[in-house]
Structure 1
């Protein structure tokens, strides 16, 4: 069978978004590399992006900042569960954290395509730091009412929604296209390194000095990425004139464009499934630690760190062997591996044994989400990069709180083990369905070429 091709180009949508432009010419530097200048295979290819100064700066600042973010991601559910003992309220934390993305995410996508992404990130990271200081102030003052804490968390969600499209699209500005796969994978590497370090630090800080100190560390950690962004000298990116249309008009046009690209649709479908059935586990470890394994904050931190460690182990292979293994093959293998990790976690007799299946969940989760992000970045036309990324993020972030609420409600009714076991079974069913799907929605569409129709 010949290579899969996107069904149509960007021009129909581009004409709607930019009436003054009859078409889009993709810069030569953005075209697909030929086999003659393909990057080398193997683990050497995994670290190619580190050869670029600006990427190294961004990566280092993001590592410190995301370590703080993972401190907060574990600390806030811990505080809520300690006060209420309710798995449902733990799930509601995700609702308040991610539902603001519905409003701010599409606007963030427009900003990412219209303006200097570095400046947008500087503003949004400053907003995230200030809103994180608000969360710290609420908890440090002794307030323990769940709705008050969640309201403060919602403020960070607004800035996060505005920030995320520029954050993911900015990686494309820091490296040439040949090194994009390495950059996306290394960006996931630092995120998961932070996920391994942050929860472990959170467990120690909570046990020794209390949760408010973990939240203060998170707020101050934003200074690292703000400093990195201030030092970055981004390479010029050739883009058309800014789009004068309204945000909602652009959003509808972007959705129409996404529907025309099967590879991007496939990446979004996988993201939705993972968001609903897998991502809630990151907060559900709080419930298992408190009501199933009966362990303290340190062991809770180690459980979350195990998922980050699993992802760290997987990253070099995912990035380094991209020229050998297609995105479709990586996703297919991960779709079948992750249910075993979820079921293994549900059936683990204690917190120590649970570390092994949680590491498998972390590795498979990383492979799925990194591959979906790479597929979108490689397929999308440069003109619409920020807006298409915002659509993917919006669907993913909506699926997360919905899955968290359902799992939290079921956990209060039938117990945490049965709930997580059911999620693992559903994930296996989804893996089978995605594997046998044909036509426009087959996994092979993740490897579609970039949309450069002229």
Structure 2
């Protein structure tokens, strides 16, 4: 596997270019907003609120974006939402050009646009496995990281150059142009259709609940989530306080742009080195290295105002940050089945954005009441302490797990036709287990319970018959018949191995019974038309 071998496939290359152009516009916008705030209100707490306004809506809305990425076509959704972003950016650029921008209007614009990006982010990640071959997934994710780092390299100089030539509104018009180019690239290259049969489409809000339950009961996902929580809570101090560091050091926007560019250069180095480092030391050690180096960069930011030292610190922070981010993303991708990948990645992003939101506000507040240097040093110490605290959370052990659908369940023989929206549904499974296998059965059925709840069951339980010592009953329920159909299609080959272990313990074949509650009344047509489902259906159409 080459470092960026996925770029040799046209479908992925077109998606990659669209993402890179959009990210370049975001980097230009971010730099312009942070510096504009130092002109409108230079207080550290206000400057840090730029970061908070950026990540708070991502924390609030990324789960919705993940559900949309799983139930609609990501490409169509990206085109529609990116067009909306372009319109909002154009309106704010006109406000800046007229000289009427205020700190409040700046924060409000950032908040709205970040909400739109939050809806886009899972779709950009979910479309990667559709556009890249399975054997190139790791290189595709590394290439995606390279797109981010290239954007961080190109964005700050674009901000500085545009501002110097055409004034404060120019970077915002540049962002508008980047969004238009991204839409054109998405229209030019269609990702291949998913080869596997997809479950019936879900309602968006129910899909969010299923995604959250999957994350709660997917133990392999807990490591990446907790590591992300620990990393971003402290690493966020760097981005939140970097404008303050730049202003205290030289006080010129060119130096702030130089710091951002140095970070982007470091991130490019991290992207280029990631695959080789992963092969040499493993995923866990790569993420550990990222934490150590970011902590060292925070120390340099807090202890020095020397221009060369600060540029070196930005270089190190960029290198380390992309190692940690790429490693955590790969760790999550490896443990998420296709059907829930968008929602699972959105949970990871929600944890990261939530950590950055709280961290940015906290470090900005501490810098306002004390010295910004002290806040940066405290963040460095906290990040270093997370390493021993998260040492047991392993990331690299799930690559061999087979998450392909098993599709082994028999067809259900129905006594009558059952509509998809009928429910709730109750499933009862009878097992006959001997005394010698009882302990092993209890452990294995607990794994099956986690599988059922990962795949959509709302309730689950296993019970021993007190009148018949060898009889065990498993029960689980779902909201509707279509949810049962989805659950049966979501069972992976790894889950099937657990079921085979149970089958080997049984004294007789298990029996399964399906029960459905009386049919519920449908919603009135006007309620259905007013719901978000109308939008989802429009985006789902080819």
Which bracket does the TM-score occupy, shorter chain normalised? 0.7 to 0.9
- Residue 235 of structure 1 is matched in structure 2 by 192
Contact 2:35/2:243 (<8 A) preserved: yes
Measured after TM superposition, the shift of residue 395 of structure 1 is 1.6
- Residue 90 of structure 1 is matched in structure 2 by 47
Q: Does 1:76 align with 2:33?
A: yes
Measured after TM superposition, the shift of residue 191 of structure 1 is 0.7
TM-score calculated relative to the size of structure 1: 0.84
- Residue 401 of structure 2 is matched in structure 1 by 449
Which of 274, 291, 304 does residue 335 from structure 1 map onto? 291
Contact 1:80/1:89 (<8 A) preserved: yes
Do the aligned partners of residues 446 and 417 (structure 1) sit closer, same or farther apart at CA in structure 2, a change above 3 Å counting?
A: farther
Measured after TM superposition, the shift of residue 320 of structure 1 is 4.2
More moved, 163-172 vs 209-218: 209-218
1:200-215 mapped onto 2 (5 Å cutoff): 200-215=157-172
Measured after TM superposition, the shift of residue 446 of structure 1 is 6.3
The structure with more radius of gyration: 2
Separation (CA, whole Å) in 2 of partners of 1:109 and 1:239: 20
Secondary structure at the counterpart of residue 191 of structure 2? coil
Secondary structure at the counterpart of residue 193 of structure 2? coil
Separation (CA, whole Å) in 2 of partners of 1:273 and 1:133: 37
- Residue 30 of structure 1 is matched in structure 2 by none
1:166-185 mapped onto 2 (5 Å cutoff): 166-185=123-142
Measured after TM superposition, the shift of residue 57 of structure 1 is 1.7
Task: Please give the per-residue CA displacement for 1:11-63, whole angstroms capped at 9, x wherever unaligned.
Answer: xxxxxxxxxxxxxxxxxxxxxxxxxxxx4xxxxx2021111012212222322
Secondary structure at the counterpart of residue 233 of structure 1? coil
TM-score calculated relative to the size of structure 2: 0.71
Task: Please give the per-residue CA displacement for 1:292-319, whole angstroms capped at 9, x wherever unaligned.
Answer: 2033111110001111100101212213
Contact 2:71/2:202 (<8 A) preserved: no
Which of 403, 413, 427 does residue 383 from structure 2 map onto? 427
Higher relative contact order (CA 8 A, sep 6+): 1
Structure 1 residues not aligned, in runs of 5+: 1-38, 40-44
Task: Please give the per-residue CA displacement for 1:345-370, whole angstroms capped at 9, x wherever unaligned.
Answer: 22223233211121111111100011
Measured after TM superposition, the shift of residue 116 of structure 1 is 1.2
Separation (CA, whole Å) in 2 of partners of 1:272 and 1:140: 39
Do the aligned partners of residues 134 and 277 (structure 1) sit closer, same or farther apart at CA in structure 2, a change above 3 Å counting?
A: farther
Measured after TM superposition, the shift of residue 160 of structure 1 is 1.0
Which of 340, 356, 367 does residue 323 from structure 2 map onto? 367
- Residue 314 of structure 1 is matched in structure 2 by 270
Secondary structure at the counterpart of residue 270 of structure 1? helix
Separation (CA, whole Å) in 2 of partners of 1:232 and 1:320: 30
Task: Please give the per-residue CA displacement for 1:383-429, whole angstroms capped at 9, x wherever unaligned.
Answer: 11111111111121122121111111111111211111111111101
Measured after TM superposition, the shift of residue 203 of structure 1 is 2.4
- Residue 146 of structure 2 is matched in structure 1 by 189
Do the aligned partners of residues 418 and 130 (structure 1) sit closer, same or farther apart at CA in structure 2, a change above 3 Å counting?
A: same
Do the aligned partners of residues 442 and 320 (structure 1) sit closer, same or farther apart at CA in structure 2, a change above 3 Å counting?
A: closer
Separation (CA, whole Å) in 1 of partners of 2:60 and 2:290: 31
Q: Does 1:402 align with 2:354?
A: no
- Residue 268 of structure 1 is matched in structure 2 by 225
Do the aligned partners of residues 394 and 198 (structure 1) sit closer, same or farther apart at CA in structure 2, a change above 3 Å counting?
A: same
Contact 1:381/1:450 (<8 A) preserved: no
Q: Does 1:56 align with 2:13?
A: yes
Measured after TM superposition, the shift of residue 280 of structure 1 is 4.0
Measured after TM superposition, the shift of residue 323 of structure 1 is 3.9
Measured after TM superposition, the shift of residue 442 of structure 1 is 3.5
Secondary structure at the counterpart of residue 278 of structure 1? helix
Task: Please give the per-residue CA displacement for 1:223-261, whole angstroms capped at 9, x wherever unaligned.
Answer: 2211111111312212423343451x4323322221333
Which of 97, 120, 124 does residue 140 from structure 1 map onto? 97
RMSD: 1.9
Do the aligned partners of residues 96 and 374 (structure 1) sit closer, same or farther apart at CA in structure 2, a change above 3 Å counting?
A: same
Measured after TM superposition, the shift of residue 99 of structure 1 is 2.1
Separation (CA, whole Å) in 2 of partners of 1:294 and 1:209: 23
- Residue 439 of structure 2 is matched in structure 1 by none
Structure 2 residues not aligned, in runs of 5+: 404-491, 497-542
Separation (CA, whole Å) in 1 of partners of 2:262 and 2:250: 18
Do the aligned partners of residues 68 and 109 (structure 1) sit closer, same or farther apart at CA in structure 2, a change above 3 Å counting?
A: same
Which of 256, 266, 276 does residue 300 from structure 1 map onto? 256
Separation (CA, whole Å) in 2 of partners of 1:300 and 1:414: 22
More helix by share: 1
Measured after TM superposition, the shift of residue 276 of structure 1 is 2.0
Separation (CA, whole Å) in 1 of partners of 2:402 and 2:369: 47
- Residue 70 of structure 2 is matched in structure 1 by 113
Measured after TM superposition, the shift of residue 382 of structure 1 is 0.9
More moved, 265-274 vs 66-75: 265-274
More moved, 295-304 vs 324-333: 324-333
Separation (CA, whole Å) in 2 of partners of 1:358 and 1:184: 23
Contact 1:203/1:299 (<8 A) preserved: no
- Residue 277 of structure 1 is matched in structure 2 by 234
- Residue 213 of structure 2 is matched in structure 1 by 256
Contact 1:129/1:222 (<8 A) preserved: yes
Q: Does 1:164 align with 2:116?
A: no
Contact 1:47/1:186 (<8 A) preserved: yes
Which of 180, 183, 186 does residue 223 from structure 1 map onto? 180
- Residue 244 of structure 1 is matched in structure 2 by 202
Contact 1:134/1:152 (<8 A) preserved: no
